[in-house]
Amino acid sequence: MSEVAKKPKKRFWGSFSFSGVASLMPIEGVINSYKYIVVIKRKVIPDMRKTFPDGVGKFQQDVVPCLSSENVKTIFRKQKLNVLE
């Protein structure tokens, strides 16, 4: 048997709600709080504002430590986005 070349892993961030599925965002390498803040600014904030213009939506995220860093919490607070604890 010939050895199959390993393809690099592809990682994406995505979200969904009762109103549908949002587009995926490719993530380079392993996610950390700084990369996640980019995702929040480019995807989470616009998607939440579009889906919940009245501000009643709650964002739920994984329990990965970098997703709940103080820097991440600060962004959510400043943007007045509700995050499910």
pTM recorded for the entire structure = 0.79
Between the CA of residue 56 and those of 15, 60, 80, 82, what are the distances in Å? Answer: 17, 13, 11, 8
Burial code (b: 16+ CB inside 10 Å, e: under 16) for 66-79 equals bbbbeebeebbeee
pLDDT tens, position by position, 24-43: 899 988 889 999 999 999 99
pLDDT band at residue 76 under the 50/70/90 scheme:
very high
Between the CA of residue 3 and those of 6, 7, 47, 56, what are the distances in Å? Answer: 9, 12, 43, 53
CB 43 within 8 A of CB 79: no
pLDDT of 2 higher than 70: no
